[in-house]
């Protein structure tokens, strides 16, 4: 049994990832801004909850201290934004903090322990909108932040031993608060590839970008 930490795990794709990992027998902690809400959700699925504000480095460091010996880190939390990439500097800063700086700092804090224990899996929940092959699309800074998260995935995987695997994935268009109810996939369907990457065996890939458990272009 591994110990997993899923950011933004109180709803949507993050919740489905947490539920899927619990179903496989893993211990799961979910990170969320509203601790009371997180505890309510966690209690329903058999997880633990940790207060985590990805816009605040101190909150990230405190959360990392409170979740020692994490084997699986799923950087799932995200913000969509509005308008074009140059319209809203504050929105750009928030997108980069939540989807790039926050995941990087969590990895900085938690990956050394994975290396010491000889086992770790990091899953960065990205998007096809962050792919150069798809034109770095999406509203606001979303695509730019996801492209940067993809770059973080490649760069960090290159520096780590094969026992610690770092991969990015695209869940597709999912019926969540962000994706809307017209989306074509359920949260469970969107979570499947993330759960697969979170539980890869020793022969599994690292430094890749996946959708439907298949490698896709950056």
Catalytic residues: 142
The phi and psi torsions of 204 (rounded to 5 degrees) equal -70, 165
Q: Are the CB atoms for 187 and 20 separated by under 8 Å?
A: no
Instruction: Give the count of alpha carbons within 13 A of 199, CB side only.
Output: 20
**Is 118 buried (19+), middle (13-18) or exposed (0-12) by CB count in 10 A?**
exposed
Pairing type for strands 209-211 and 72-75 reads unpaired
Q: Please state, in angstroms and rounded to a whole number, the distance separating the CA atoms of residues 67 and 78.
A: 21
Secondary element (H or E) of residue 177: none
Identify the bridge partners of residue 175 per DSSP, sorted by sequence position.
none
Q: What is the CA radius of gyration of the chain?
A: 16
Identify the bridge partners of residue 121 per DSSP, sorted by sequence position.
72, 165
């Amino acid at each position: 049994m591994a110990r997993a930490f899923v950011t933004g795990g109180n709803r949507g794709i993050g919740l489905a990832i947490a539920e899927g990992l619990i179903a496989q027998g893993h211990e799961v902690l979910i990170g969320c801004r509203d601790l009371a809400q997180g505890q309510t959700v966690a209690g329903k699925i058999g997880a633990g909850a940790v207060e985590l504000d990805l816009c605040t480095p101190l909150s990230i460091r405190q959360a990392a201290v409170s979740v020692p010996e994490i084997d699986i880190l799923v950087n799932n939390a995200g913000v969509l934004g509005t308008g074009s990439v140059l319209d809203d500097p504050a929105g750009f800063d928030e997108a980069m903090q939540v989807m790039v700086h926050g995941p990087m700092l969590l990895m900085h804090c938690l990956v050394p322990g994975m290396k010491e224990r000889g086992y770790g899996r990091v899953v960065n929940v990205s998007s096809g909108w962050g792919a150069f092959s798809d034109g770095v699309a999406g509203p606001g800074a979303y695509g730019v932040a996801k492209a940067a998260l993809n770059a973080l995935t490649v760069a960090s995987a290159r520096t780590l031993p094969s026992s610690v695997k770092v991969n990015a994935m695209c869940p597709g268009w999912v019926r969540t608060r962000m994706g809307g109810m017209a989306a074509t996939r359920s949260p469970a369907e969107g979570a499947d590839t993330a759960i697969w990457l979170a539980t890869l065996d020793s022969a599994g890939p690292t430094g890749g970008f996946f959708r439907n458990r298949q490698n896709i272009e950056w």
